[in-house]
Amino acid sequence: MTQATEIEMPIPGTYMFDGKAAMKGYALNKMCYSFNKAENREAFLKDEDAYCTKYGLNDEQRKAIHDRNVLAMIHAGGCIYYLAKFAGIFHLTVQDVGAQQTGMTVEAFNKMIKAQGE
């Protein structure tokens, strides 16, 4: 097996969704993947707790979902591509999700993005 030639320093504020995270977050991500289908989004809205139980979410994942807390979902093994489908249920855009994670208003978040192009 090839070894990395240098030590990979962690990148602040960045989470690599790797095998460890994928195992940890499997139930949460599987639930979010189900939200591709409209009937599943409706079933979730109808009875959130029952839907989380059906997919076997653990307490940490349930709390993150209950709190609509994206960073907590990531810490619980969530992958942003699937979490985006959860956010979609509430018509949240990636700016809304970005603002929440960075603790900014959406307006400030968008300004920060634009400023990086100048």
Question: Rule CB under 8 A: which residues touch other proteins?
Answer: 4, 8, 11-19, 22, 26, 29-30, 32-33, 35-38, 41, 70-71, 74, 79-85, 87-89, 91, 93-95, 97-98, 101-102, 109, 112-114, 116-118
Evaluate the CA torsion angle 34, 40, 41, 45 in order and state its sign. negative
Q: What is the closest distance, in whole angstroms, from the C-beta atom of residue 1 to other proteins in the complex?
A: 12
The least CB distance from residue 94 to other proteins, in Å, is 5
- Cβ closest to other proteins, residue 22 vs residue 50: 22
Q: Compare residues 17 and 68 and give the one whose CB is closer to other proteins.
A: 17
Q: Could you tell me the CA-to-CA distances from 114 to 41, 80, 84, 110, 111 in Å, in that order?
A: 33, 22, 22, 6, 5
CA dist., res. 95 & res. 89, Å (int) = 15
What is the rounded distance in angstroms from the CA atom of residue 12 to the CA atom of residue 15? 8
